[in-house]
Amino acid sequence: MARSLLKRIGSLFSKGSADQNEQPAPVFAPAETGRKIIPESEHQIPRKYLDDNAMKVVYRLIDGGYDGYLVGGCIRDLLQGEKPKDFDVATSASPEEAHELFRRSRLIGRRFKLLHVRFGREIIEVATFRASHDSHPENSNGEHGRQNESGMITRDNVYGTIEEDADRRDFTVNALYYCVKDHSIYDFANGYQDLKDGVLRMIGDPVARYREDPVRMLRAARFAGKLDFEIEANTAAPIRELAPLLKDIAPARLFDESLKLLQSGYAEGAYKHLQHYDLFEPLFPQTQRALLGERGELVETLLLNALRNTDRRLAQRKSVTPAFLFAALLWYPVQDLMQKLMKENRMPPLPALHEAANQVLAKQVKSTAIPRRFSTPIREIWEMQIRLPRRDGKRAERLIEQPRFRAAYDLLLLRENSGEDLGGLSRWWTEYQSAHPEKREQMSRDSGKGQKPRRRRRKKPNNATRDE
């Protein structure tokens, strides 16, 4: 039965890759490992939890004469009793063939071609079964597949059978396929058992798989944190040594991965794994340096508090923004540089902050490319840290109306709660926000009392000197 299925799927690909069929059987022949079928009576995923739109996509593919399965994180999460973040579909149809079946769909990606099928705000990702480049060496440096000299896959569009597709997925628990025809799960890599045992295990040779795609190391940290799984010994062993390979990954991809790590609701767990495996430094080199510096303890406390806060907010279904998280993660590198510029270059605080922000962001985007829509608010949140201590006259009222006030206040709270001595400034702002107008006026007046009166600039200074 497996043989006839293989033949049928193989024939679907005979058009684009005729010579694939003439290759000798791959070393990890799927028939050798075999497929386990876990019936619905055993896995007991309630059908109502299967996403309607993802099911529609799978049925349409099957009606079109192709194979289609729900696969990856959605099946893993459902088996864990969790609500999946998204639903992914794997199919025997090529991206172009699948595209023809769905009106509201879009082909995306070059390195890894995919089809996005849109249903209102939901997007179902449809991926064609892929094969490892090893089993199709003619493709490891061609139009469909490419690997650079260190083994990194730079193009991954070599298509294959479902068995080959399972082989090239990352972890065994991510290689479970839900068959909508009989509601069973196909397991080619013993992922069902690993899931039950709480083990995260790389499929194939971990060193080769990390070299093919170093982001898999970040995924290991993420899933171990999220699932609270143990990383199997062989899967964990090479990570520290290979962690520097992350420097070769496009910063835009690392930015996306850093959000998945830190804004999926399990940031604290993921962070501990990142540090344990030396994976944090390639993502946030400046923060890592601050962690190892004089104020390391303070930096770590703020960082952990920021991550816990984010996890808590997500658990309460509140919104989180990358701007706030990045502003917090990079605050101490910015503050240290700002103080250095003030001391060594005698710059006033605000220009020093602007210069420090420029330099820190310019360095950070080489690791994780922060889009401008986030870097602008990050700068504003930092600038507000300098403005929040000045609360006299109408200043406090003006500050509270700034769009970035809330995030800036949250960072101020974090700083003080983490041990930075700001003389109770965050408490003052907490009180101010809930005070009635007269009380606010009084508070502003009182806050001005202890401050040195600022000297006015002369209109036409002869020997202009800075008064800050």
Strands (E), 13-171: 36-38, 68-71, 88-91, 105-108, 114-119, 122-128, 145-147, 153-156
Handedness of CA 94, 100, 101, 104 (dihedral sign): positive
CA gap 238, 234 in Å, rounded: 7
Contact range with ligand ATP by CB under 6 A, out of 180-188, 211-219, 275-283, 337-345: 211-219
Beta bridge partners of 202: 171
Specify the residue, 127 or 384, whose C-beta has the smaller distance to Mg ion.
127
Question: Which one among 7, 8, 85, 104 touches ligand ATP, defined by CB under 6 A?
Answer: 85
CB atoms < 10 A from the CB of 149, how many? 5
Map the footprint of Mg ion across residues 48-107, applying CB under 5 A: 73, 86, 88
Beta bridge partners of 71: 88, 177
Q: Indicate which of ligand ATP, Mg ion, none lies near residue 170 (CB less than 5 to 8 Å, by partner kind).
A: ligand ATP
Residue 446 is a catalytic residue: no
Handedness of CA 285, 287, 289, 291 (dihedral sign): negative
What is the per-residue binding string for ligand ATP in 245-264, x denoting contact by CB under 6 A? ---------------x----
CB of 72 to Mg ion, least distance (A): 5
CB atoms < 10 A from the CB of 34, how many? 12
Nearest CA-CA partner of 411 in 448, 431, 386 = 386
- Helix (H) / strand (E) containing 288: helix 285-292
CB of 71 to Mg ion, least distance (A): 9
Q: Using alpha carbons only, how large is the chain's radius of gyration in Å?
A: 27
The answer to whether the CB of 443 falls within 8 A of the CB of 399 is no
CB of 90 to ligand ATP, least distance (A): 8
Is 72 a residue that touches ligand ATP (CB under 6 A)? yes
What is the per-residue binding string for ligand ATP in 106-125, x denoting contact by CB under 6 A? --------------------
Residue 19 is a catalytic residue: no
The answer to whether the CB of 177 falls within 8 A of the CB of 71 is yes
Map the footprint of ligand ATP across residues 170-189, applying CB under 6 A: 170, 174-175
The answer to whether the CB of 177 falls within 8 A of the CB of 208 is no
Which position's Cβ is nearest ligand ATP? 73
CB of 114 to ligand ATP, least distance (A): 10
Contact range with ligand ATP by CB under 6 A, out of 80-88, 294-302, 349-357, 404-412: 80-88
Map the footprint of Mg ion across residues 366-385, applying CB under 5 A: none
Q: Indicate which of Mg ion, ligand ATP, none lies near residue 7 (CB less than 5 to 8 Å, by partner kind).
A: none
CB of 99 to Mg ion, least distance (A): 20
Is 216 a residue that touches ligand ATP (CB under 6 A)? yes
With CB under 6 A as the rule, give the number of residues binding ligand ATP: 13
Is 333 a residue that touches ligand ATP (CB under 6 A)? no
CA gap 80, 63 in Å, rounded: 30
Handedness of CA 258, 259, 264, 266 (dihedral sign): positive
Q: Spot the catalytic one: 51, 67, 77, 88.
A: 88
CB of 286 to ligand ATP, least distance (A): 26
CB of 45 to ligand ATP, least distance (A): 15
CB of 122 to Mg ion, least distance (A): 13
Q: Spot the catalytic one: 51, 134, 170, 194.
A: 170
Q: What angle do CA 287, 290, 296 make, to 5 degrees?
A: 120
Q: Which residues of 225-253 are buried (b: 16+ CB within 10 A; e: fewer)?
A: bbbebebbeebbebbeebbebbeebebee
Specify the residue, 189 or 357, whose C-beta has the smaller distance to ligand ATP.
189
Residue 88 is a catalytic residue: yes
The answer to whether the CB of 153 falls within 8 A of the CB of 213 is yes
Is 51 a residue that touches ligand ATP (CB under 6 A)? no
Q: Indicate which of ligand ATP, Mg ion, none lies near residue 174 (CB less than 5 to 8 Å, by partner kind).
A: ligand ATP
Specify the residue, 141 or 264, whose C-beta has the smaller distance to ligand ATP.
264
Q: What is the 3-state secondary structure (H, E, C) of 174-212?
A: HCEEEECCCCEEEECCCHHHHHHHCEECECCCHHHHHHH
Is 213 a residue that touches ligand ATP (CB under 6 A)? yes
Which residues participate in catalysis according to the annotation? 86, 88, 170
Question: Which residues would be at the binding site for Mg ion (CB under 5 A)?
Answer: 73, 86, 88
Question: Which residues would be at the binding site for ligand ATP (CB under 6 A)?
Answer: 72-73, 85-86, 88, 169-170, 174-175, 213, 215-216, 260
